[in-house]
Amino acid sequence: MIAAANWKMNKTLGEARAWVEKVAGEVPAGVEAMVFPPYTAIATVAEAARGRLAVGAQDVFYENEGAFTGAISPTMAGDAGCTYTLIGHSERRSVFGETDRDIQTKLRFVLATDLKPVLCIGESLEDFDRGDTRGAVRRQLGVAFKDLEEEKVRGLTIAYEPVWAIGTGRSATVIEAERAGSAVHEVVGRLYGEETGRSVRILYGGSVTPENVRGYLVTAGMDGVLVGSASLDAASFVALMQQAVAS
């Protein structure tokens, strides 16, 4: 299973290094640990991790170089030590105004590089209250995958993060997560065939804690979790990984 720590806009270099020193030696067998530091800490984290944790960017732009103030490219992220990048995190959508079309362009661009994308989707509170989670998943994936070849989608990692559950302490129930996970497999299956639908890896994100992580992995059948708040403290993230594989 995947345990991914999304630090968002947190941690100085010293704090980042201290976290890696506490976490990197504690990854249990069966866990693929990933960390998404802010850009400033990527190289420091990659160096300290020495391959024991995969490192990812929280976002990248869809050009390799040029006059794009404030942006970094997939090549630059890779050069600094990243093997992954998030694409379309809900805070990129809501705070920075990224649209489904931007995310489509980024996904296509990143898939042509060596970085592996983690595509983030999830319904708004409005969609959720209307009982339209499946519809939101279908709409977001429909735009993100427009004209994308099947081989690009096979085995892709998709993070399902209901917007109302991110950073709120109100996590989705295991049943809600399971339903959304099967909606993702089904939507991808309709677009690309059942086998490809089954091949995508799904992470649940939104107020995951050491206490609730097992439900998502064991009962809801998720392939992993994307963790914000509960990943900032090294001991909490280690506890979460231990719970994830506890028998």
- The tokens describing 9, both together, are 């806009």
C-beta atoms surrounding 203 within 10 Å: 26
Q: Is 125 in the site for ligand PGA (CB under 6 A)?
A: no
Q: Is 162 in the site for ligand PGA (CB under 6 A)?
A: no
**Looking at 68, 112, 151, 167, which residue binds ligand PGA (CB under 6 A)?**
167
Q: Is 161 a catalytic residue?
A: yes
Set 91, 98, 123, 161: catalytic member: 161
Q: Are the CB atoms for 228 and 185 separated by under 8 Å?
A: no
Report the candidate in 155, 149, 90, 79 with the shortest Cα–Cα distance to residue 124.
90
CA distances (Å), 242 to each of 5, 233, 235, 239, in order?
14, 14, 10, 5
By rule CB under 6 A, what string of x and - marks binding of each residue 213-242 to ligand PGA?
Answer: -------------xxxxx------------
Amino acid sitting at position 106: K
Strand partners, 161: none
Identify which of residues 197 and 244 has a Cβ nearer to ligand PGA in the complex.
244
Q: Is 178 a catalytic residue?
A: no
Identify which of residues 199 and 209 has a Cβ nearer to ligand PGA in the complex.
209
Q: Is 206 in the site for ligand PGA (CB under 6 A)?
A: yes
Task: Report, in Å, the least distance between residue 64 CB and ligand PGA.
Answer: 26
* Positions marked catalytic: 89, 161
